[in-house]
Structure 1
Amino acid sequence: MPPRLLITGSRTWVDRAVVRDALRAWWDTTGRNPEAVLVSGACPKDADRICEEIWKHNGLTVERHPAQWKKPDGTVDKRAGFNRNAAMVDTGPDHLIAFIMDGSNGATHTLNYAKKKGIPVTVHEATTTPGA
């Protein structure tokens, strides 16, 4: 089975260089395995989008797990993001990289659940408030 990297990140994460360097560092640990898979929450903006763009640019496979925000009855499922995050961790990735801005609840939830499941993690944190 190819190595699988789960990423999680804040919707406000914009530091492309940190993402690029983190993905490269992990990929190097796989021996630059061309079958390595990026597991993503498929958010159209933020760290997810940046990770997917970089991964695809290098010809690698992305496994997308978009949250199902709308229930069959048309109402909004406010827990959809958390449910999706847990489901991604439950796929059994080899590693998780988190890009957390200002303590993001969703990314932090994914990180903590991965730790609880014994998945090795790498964390990149930033704040938008100077000196915070």
Structure 2
Amino acid sequence: MPPRLLITGSRGWTDRAVIRDALRTWWDSTGRDPDAVLVSGKCPKGADKICEEVWAHNGLTLELHPAKWRKPDGSQDMGAGYTRNKAMVDTAPDHIIAFILDGSGGASHCLRYAQRKGIPFTVHEASSAG
């Protein structure tokens, strides 16, 4: 089975260099396995988007888990992000990298859940205050 990396991050994360370096460091640790998979929540902006772009640019495989924000009746599911986070962690990735800006609730939730499951992790934290 190919190595699998789960990423979680803040919507406001913009530091591409930190992401690029973190992904490269992890991929190097796999021996640059060409079959390595990036597991992502597919947020259309921020850390998820940047990670997906960097990973795809290198021709590697993406496994996307977008949150289902709308219930079948059309109402908004406010817990969809947390449900998605748990589902991603429950796929048993080999490692998780979290990019947390200003204590991001969603990314922090995903990281805590992964920690409880015993998944090795790396955390990059930043503050928008600078």
**TM-score bracket relative to the smaller structure:** over 0.9
Number of equivalenced pairs: 130
Runs of 4+ in 1 over 2 A off after TM superposition: none
Letter of the structure 1 residue corresponding to residue 23 of structure 2: L
User: What is the DSSP-based 3-state SS (H/G/I as helix, E as strand, rest coil) of the residue aligned with 1:129?
Assistant: coil
Aligned to 1:119: 119
Which structure 2 residues correspond to residues 1-132 of structure 1 after superposition, within 5 A? 1-130=1-130
How many angstroms apart in 1 are the aligned matches of 2:101 and 2:86?
20
SS of the equivalent of 2:109 reads helix
- CA offset digits 1:26-85 (Å, max 9, x no partner): 000000000000000000100000000000000000000000000001100000000000
TM-score (norm 1): 0.98
Query: What secondary structure sits across from 2:87 in the alignment?
Result: helix
Which ranges in structure 2 are unaligned for 5 or more consecutive residues?
none
Q: Percent identity at matched positions?
A: 72
Specify the code of the residue in structure 1 equivalent to 2:33.
Answer: N
Question: Counterparts of 1:126 and 1:114 in 2: how far apart (Å)?
Answer: 20
Scaled by the length of structure 2, the TM-score of the pair is 0.99
In 1, Cα distance between the equivalents of 2:14 and 2:74?
32
Where do 5+ consecutive residues of structure 1 fail to align?
none
